[in-house]
Amino acid sequence: MFAQGALNVSGFAPTGIVSPSEAAFTARVLEKFPEGTVIRRSELEAAAPRFDLVRKALDAGIVCWCTLPLRASNRLVGIFYLGSRSEDAFTDKDLELARQVAAALAVFIENALTHEALQREKQGLEKLLEMSRALTPSLEPKKLLAEIASCTRSVFNHDQAHLAFYDKSAEIMRIAQVDPPGASGCSSIDSSPASQCPSGMAMLRGKVICFDVSQLKEASTDFTKQLLASGFRTLCCFPLATRNGPLGALCLSSRRENAFTQSLIELMEKVAGQIAVALENSRAYTEIASLKDRLLKEKRYLEEEIRDALDFEDIIGQSPALVKVLNQVKTVAPSDATVLILGETGTGKELVARAVHRLSSRAGGNFVKVNCAAIPTGLLESELFGHEKGAFTGAISQKIGRLELADKGTLLLDEVGEIPLELQPKLLRALQDHEFERLGGTRTIRVNVRIIAATNRDLSAAVARHQFRSDLYYRLHVFPLHLPSLRERREDIPLLVRYFVQKFARRMNKHIEAIPEEAMQALADSYWPGNIRELENFLERSVILTDGATLRVPVGELSSISGLYSREPHASQHPTLEELEREYILQVLRQTGGVVSGSGGAAAKLGMKRTTLQSKMQRLGISKTDDESLG
């Protein structure tokens, strides 16, 4: 008597030592005799040529078989053979007894199989729990990628692992290596259309797909070519998705054929779900951290802007020339048109720009300014567009540019005429298309920004001299605002004088009640090439000099200015405005001994920024080493 091994239920696929031929014979017997039967010599001899199992039994002298199915809980768990060398070995009584033995044996086998399945399931759940604990707290991208590599390697004995991230806008997969441990970070190695590469196929179909050598050759992407060239024989792609949609795929490759068993694939499917959630959490964490950093930078920037704005609280004046400009501001502010503010230095171009912003639909957004003359040429591009970490020497971290900070708000390009020619095409593209790339970056950033430009230069003349691009000039010259100089709105000077005197008196804890009439007349008659800023600085100096309740104005300084800049020059002379401006700057430089910056320098006396004065000196041909300049 002998017993033969059990068969798998689905299709009677053999396990253990059972051959396909044996499985086929057993399947045929069970199909014909589902409750079992006794097979005699004649039937065995007829089946011997087709089935090795029967032939081997006859060779061993087995001429009578009793075959019994092993069933438990209404399912087949195996087959039980009883063989004998006697042709009439099994009676009906023997068959009934054998059925009882088979029933008990079936229960035993079912319990053993169930225990084995429970053990496998327990081990799988323990592995999942361990991986979940490892992946859940990993929000930093680098740490998460290391954990993913560790988790996949603990399940599969693979040779290499990759992550394929889905770029929905371009419908491509961006593939990056994360394992083995020697791989440097998560470096991108390929970008392929999602519908053509293995990872994209698995993601789009939403199911695990394993590729052999022939299928990898058919795919023919750069990624699969690299795998084949490195000797890989199997690639298994697991789709990564959350309730928010597909993220990409996890790709595991091996140099062995048929490297991944079904049970491991089923376990890895569950791990892939954990990985997808962890990747989405990491992406959200990165975006939140970036937004938090951006908001912090915006907060710091706006705090500085508020402090600067409080130095000039409102536009002071009621002259026709000023009222005309303010009416134009009211007209253009509600639109998103580009505004070009033209005017001499110190006429309040930034203040008018802020007024345009406040009266527009963008008032709730940021008002960001860039002084193009105050930033070195080499850093202006980074200041405007930002840069990525490592874009140039000293770029130790990512920087958000002013254009990006001004998204949904207004950007003021102060001293726009000082932007170097080589940077103007990139600025033009950003103004036209509302998109740009950070310095050293490849990702296109779209912004919704209103542009206001300001300059004290004659841009049309700069275009004629090929110092400024004509296409950029026309792009900026949509709605020009010409700010009047202080000489053109002299009736506003008394208002401005009273405003500034009270402002500085409060700041210095002084009580000034009166301004002498002759001093006010002298202030109104002065030329003020530095306009409101020069007047403001002059009055601050006057308040400092004042001890009592009456403002002490150093009229002597004003008389020399008035003599040089008469409002009605002699008819025979007819000096140009540029000549008068040049002569006045030379006179102030003589007074300061050629010193430009500092509290006692020419820039402070003229009420100008140092960079503005240096720009004017360069334009007017004034050199600090010029004997004439220094007297």
Domain residue spans of the chain: 10-119, 141-285, 311-482, 487-620
Q: Rounded CA gap, 509 and 27, in Å?
A: 108
- In this structure, the number of other CB atoms found within 10 A of the CB of residue 452 comes to 29
CA 287 to chain centre: 7
Q: What is the mean pLDDT of each run of 10 residues along the chain (631 residues)?
A: 34 40 71 81 84 84 86 79 84 82 84 72 62 60 71 74 85 80 49 86 90 87 86 90 87 86 78 80 77 70 53 71 92 94 92 92 91 85 85 78 91 92 91 88 89 92 90 94 93 91 92 89 88 91 91 78 48 58 82 82 82 81 55 41
Q: Are 275 and 161 in contact (CB under 8 A)?
A: no
Q: Are 252 and 260 in contact (CB under 8 A)?
A: yes
- Looking at residue 571, its amino acid is A
Give the pLDDT score at 568: 44
Give the pLDDT score at 186: 43
Q: What is the CA radius of gyration of the chain?
A: 44
β-partners of residue 439 are 387
Q: Are 300 and 458 in contact (CB under 8 A)?
A: no
To the nearest 10 degrees (0 to 180), the angle between helices 262-309 and 92-135 is: 20
141-285 and 487-620, same CATH topology: no
Phi, psi of 163 (to 5 degrees): -115, 130
Residue 47: both structure tokens together: 């089946």
Is the peptide bond between 180 and the residue preceding it cis, with omega within 30 degrees of 0? yes
Q: Rounded CA gap, 577 and 92, in Å?
A: 131
Which residue in 621, 590, 596 sits closest to 610, CA to CA?
596
Torsion of CA 36, 41, 42, 47, to 10 degrees: 70
Per this entry, what is the length of the chain? 631
Q: Rounded CA gap, 531 and 539, in Å?
A: 12
Label residue 521 left, alpha or beta by phi (over 0 means left) and psi (-120 to 50 means alpha): alpha
CATH 3.40.50.300, applies to 311-482? yes
Q: What angle do CA 203, 206, 207 make, to 5 degrees?
A: 105
* DSSP, res 484: P
Domain 10-119: which CATH class? Answer: alpha beta
Phi, psi of 473 (to 5 degrees): -60, -45
To the nearest 10 degrees (0 to 180), the angle between helices 320-332 and 349-358 is: 40
CATH 3.40.50.2300, applies to 141-285? no
To the nearest 10 degrees (0 to 180), the angle between helices 493-507 and 531-545 is: 50
Q: What is the CATH number of domain 487-620?
A: 1.10.8.60
Report H helices in 479-576.
Answer: 493-507, 517-525, 531-545, 555-564
Q: Rounded CA gap, 210 and 259, in Å?
A: 10
Torsion of CA 150, 151, 154, 160, to 10 degrees: -60
Is 465 strand, coil or helix? Answer: coil
Residue 535: both structure tokens together: 């007047």
Q: Rounded CA gap, 502 and 512, in Å?
A: 7
Phi, psi of 533 (to 5 degrees): -65, -40
Q: Are 141 and 186 in contact (CB under 8 A)?
A: yes
Q: What's the order of all strands across the beta sheet hosting 37-39? A: 37-39, 64-72, 75-84
Is 120 strand, coil or helix? Answer: helix
Which residue in 467, 474, 500 sits closest to 486, CA to CA?
500
Contacts for 332 with CB less than 8 Å, ≥ 6 apart:
339, 356, 479, 481
Phi, psi of 64 (to 5 degrees): -145, 130
Q: Rounded CA gap, 238 and 453, in Å?
A: 53
